[in-house]
A and B are shown apart, each in its own frame.
Chain A
Amino acid sequence: MAVALLQMHDIIKSFPGVLALNKAALSVQPGEIHGLVGENGAGKSTIIKVLAGVYKADGGTVTIDGEALQDVTPRSVHEAGIRFIHQELHLVQHFTVTESVFMGQELSGIGGLSRRDMKAKAESFFKDALGTELSGDLLIRDLGIAERKLVQIARALIDGAAKLVVFDEPTAPLSSGETEKLFAAITNLKARGIAMIYVSHYLAEITDICDRVTVLRNGKTVSVFEEVLPDSTDAMITAMVGREIEALFPDVSHCASADLLQVQNLHHQAFSNVSFDVQAGEIVGIAGLIGSGREEVVDVLYGLKKASEGAVKFNGKSQAFNAPKDAVAAGMVLVPRDRRHDGLVLDMSVSDNVNLASLDDISTGLIERRKMGLAKAGAVAEQLDIRPRDPSAKARNLSGGNQQKVVLGRWLTRGAKLFILDEPTVGVDVGAKVEIYALVEKLAADGAGVLVSSSDPGELVGLCDRILVMLRGEIITEISTDGLGVDHLVALTTGGQAA
């Protein structure tokens, strides 16, 4: 084999409390499309950020074209010809295509910017390198998402010095038709000899376009596929999932009773025809990739977004919550996926955050009784083992797992009939995960309904009684977790296997 274009060897990267990369390796040959797969938290984005110079690795080497890169910085990596197509577009809505492509790298001649040159160069780049016609005068806001993605690509590659392009989840926001367009561009780039790293959750896409695939699990490279065939997905899933998760989950089976939540034919821009129910005492999971409509289902139920059609019956009454306050009043509470943004008021104390939804209980008239609040939060901290124990600590300074316990604690003090948990353990260390799972089991055992939306298939299989599987805006199937393999669930969510 020729000298590898990129070689990352024994990369180690740790964050407080988490070993994100544990001697991970990644090697890319010139001109190939290299897939990078793994579950959430496996270390995909960490290794990409190490390569980009965003994170500084604690150990390991990065070699480009056979030469070790001493100092991996955004600049040195750029000079070595590596470009990144991030998930977020970072484009200015009011700029034209040409302005966007050349932003920060404008061409100028005598008498200022050479607008005509730039337009011609941009348009010919779209035609020759990306295989599509796109006028340089169009405004970004008038483009479809796929075209914006192409503009983003053009902006990274227009200087002609790119040797390796890293795509991070490029198709997440795209429909299948738009995905075709992007793939056409990628194939075009490959024909021009540019190597690519392709990070995606959609295994079907990986087998379609990748030449080789690296699989990460728990910060390690567990497998490299030298050849990718349409039926390689099964082997990839097995490599991604591993076999160690079962022990994390308490073994309780629930006797569900009484319809708590009934959802009928719910429609929204992001999903259609969603129907399901949750019984009291039951834990129901929603599985699906990012963009499958899973997040929006949660938002609509909780009153954060509006359904265009459909009916929701909660606790025996027809309900359409206009705002979270209505849901909370009815006994439906949410632990949101973005806990730092939607879950906690970061600059308030643990006590304030725990009591935020039940301030009436710690007041005389309208005057807050601080000591009572602190005592209550202290008891929650004790019960959930929140560290530090001090309820006057600022929520911002807690670790992810402890922050999540604070959000859960808020609803425990208030009490609720249905707990919706959206990505309950993202960014949570393993120890806190086990505690959170035990708590969820206890909630259900005490008669509450629980709806868990998660991108972690192991978590869903281990925790839930049954799982709704969503793919591109629809519930494609509902399965019991009895004897369900994680690999089977992953196959369903990635569209790798028919329901």
Chain B
Amino acid sequence: MNILARYGFLLIIAAFFIFFSLYNPAFLTIGNQLNMVEGSAVLLVLALSMTLVVAMGGIDLSVGIAFDMGAAFAVVALKEYDSSWQMACLVGVLGGAGVGVLNAVLIVGLKVSPFMATLGTFFIGSSVQRVFTNGGGPISHRRMPQEYRDLAVGDVFGIPTEIIIAAVVLIAYFIFLERSILGKRIHAIGLQRSAANVAGIPVRKYMFVAFVIASATCAIGGLIGSANIRMFTPLAGFSYLLDAIAAVFIGASIHPKGRPNVIGTLIGVLFLGMIGNGLNLMGLNFNLKDALSGLILVGALALAVGQKRLR
């Protein structure tokens, strides 16, 4: 019973995987699998950022805004200032980090709750984008440098660049959150902030920096997104918010101690990608995907709670 509870969610994933494979042989082809993984790369980057914030005891509703800012700053730098692709990437990441600074000032400086502060940032950021683009029109840049374009469509030794970027972020986050003493302190803050404070951990400094890092990470997603469609589309990042939250909580539910964690988030992201891909291949209404992942998410959380009761 205990084993079933612990691995229940992994069993659900396996069951879906087998089901999709049997239903449509195309699902198992290497081409499709790679497609699935590549399609999850950007979400993974945002979900990792969310993992950091949730592990620290917060929530970030403004991941989409940081994504948008990354795309906007980079595209504008390329188009209006003719900057190199490296400079555009740097500017984009800094633009995203700016969103994190605003969050951090509100949360750490003014002591607004993370939920309300990032909701505020979300509204402010959305409005700024609409004003800047005269109501939400995209900023297109067809002749962007090939190197920048390659962030989304290129490959290194046959592996899509998107996947490589996401993998690098994944490894960096794994070392940072799960293996470094910085990560240990962040987990301590998330689990019991007052105890971390009394133990002499500079809680406010850590929270400030973590919110900035999280938003800067989301901006990397924005770079890939804008390179893919060769434009900045206002408010495009919003679509990732709920998937990112779902992935983090799926990941936490399969962790033995129920904590948000990097590997769990990876599994959560791949699961959501698989559901989308599999339903697509079944020729079912793609819009069913959200209903299904919603059902499964609630089911997984119920499992995780039941698991805690068992112990």
A439 at the interface (CB under 8 A from B): no
- Choose one: A328, A341, A345; the contact of B200 (CB below 8 Å): A328
Is B199's CB under 8 angstroms from A357's CB? Answer: yes
Is A347's CB under 8 angstroms from B191's CB? Answer: yes
A342 at the interface (CB under 8 A from B): yes
B196 at the interface (CB under 8 A from A): yes
Evaluate whether A367 and B179 lie within 8 angstroms (CB atoms) in the complex, with A352-B188, A356-B188 already known: yes
Docked complex Cα distance between A309 and B188 (Å): 33
Which residues of chain A are near B182, meaning CB under 8 Å?
366
- Choose one: B181, B183, B185, B195; the contact of A341 (CB below 8 Å): B195
Closest beta carbon of chain B to A462's beta carbon, Å = 26
Is A357's CB under 8 angstroms from B195's CB? Answer: no
Docked complex Cα distance between A352 and B181 (Å): 10
Docked complex Cα distance between A344 and B179 (Å): 21
Closest beta carbon of chain A to B54's beta carbon, Å = 15
Is A356's CB under 8 angstroms from B199's CB? Answer: yes
Docked complex Cα distance between A341 and B192 (Å): 7
Docked complex Cα distance between A347 and B57 (Å): 14
Which residues of chain A are near B183, meaning CB under 8 Å?
368
Is A329's CB under 8 angstroms from B195's CB? Answer: no
Which residues of chain B are near A325, meaning CB under 8 Å?
200-202
Overall SS of chain B's interface? helix
Evaluate whether A368 and B200 lie within 8 angstroms (CB atoms) in the complex, with A344-B195, A345-B195 already known: no
Is B199's CB under 8 angstroms from A341's CB? Answer: no
Is B184's CB under 8 angstroms from A359's CB? Answer: yes
Closest beta carbon of chain A to B257's beta carbon, Å = 7
B310 at the interface (CB under 8 A from A): no
How many A-B pairs with Cβ below 8 Å? 76
- Choose one: B180, B184, B202; the contact of A323 (CB below 8 Å): B202
Is A336's CB under 8 angstroms from B191's CB? Answer: no
Closest 4 CB pairs of A and B: A328-B200, A359-B181, A345-B192, A366-B180
A31 at the interface (CB under 8 A from B): no
Which residues of chain B are near A327, meaning CB under 8 Å?
200
- Choose one: A329, A356, A360; the contact of B196 (CB below 8 Å): A356
Could you tell me which residues of chain A, from 315 to 371, have a CB within 8 Å of some CB in chain B?
323-325, 327-329, 333-334, 336, 341-348, 352, 356-357, 359-360, 362-363, 366-368
Docked complex Cα distance between A167 and B200 (Å): 39
A201 at the interface (CB under 8 A from B): no
Which residues of chain A are near B192, meaning CB under 8 Å?
341, 344-347
Nearest B residue (CB) for A334? B198
Closest beta carbon of chain B to A12's beta carbon, Å = 30
Docked complex Cα distance between A329 and B180 (Å): 21
- Choose one: A324, A344, A347; the contact of B197 (CB below 8 Å): A324
Evaluate whether A342 and B195 lie within 8 angstroms (CB atoms) in the complex, with A328-B200, A347-B257 already known: yes
B187 at the interface (CB under 8 A from A): yes
Docked complex Cα distance between A362 and B257 (Å): 23
Nearest B residue (CB) for A339? B195
Of A302, A341, A342, A344, most buried by chain B (CB within 10 Å of CB) is A342
What 11 new A-B contacts, CB under 8 Å, besides A328-B199, A329-B200? A324-B197, A341-B192, A342-B197, A345-B191, A352-B188, A359-B181, A363-B181, A366-B182, A367-B179, A368-B179, A368-B181
A410 at the interface (CB under 8 A from B): yes
B194 at the interface (CB under 8 A from A): yes
Closest beta carbon of chain A to B74's beta carbon, Å = 29
Docked complex Cα distance between A329 and B201 (Å): 10
Which residues of chain B are near A359, meaning CB under 8 Å?
181, 184-185
Is A345's CB under 8 angstroms from B196's CB? Answer: yes
B171 at the interface (CB under 8 A from A): no
Evaluate whether A357 and B200 lie within 8 angstroms (CB atoms) in the complex, with A345-B192, A347-B191 already known: yes
Which residues of chain B are near A344, meaning CB under 8 Å?
192, 195
Could you tell me which residues of chain B, from 166 to 196, have a CB within 8 Å of some CB in chain A?
175, 179-185, 187-188, 191-192, 194-196
Is A368's CB under 8 angstroms from B180's CB? Answer: yes
Closest beta carbon of chain B to A441's beta carbon, Å = 24
Which residues of chain A are near B175, meaning CB under 8 Å?
367
Is B181's CB under 8 angstroms from A348's CB? Answer: no
Which residues of chain B are near A341, meaning CB under 8 Å?
192, 194-195
Docked complex Cα distance between A323 and B108 (Å): 14
Binary contact readout B199-218 vs A (1 if CB under 8 angstroms, 0 otherwise) = 11111100000000000000
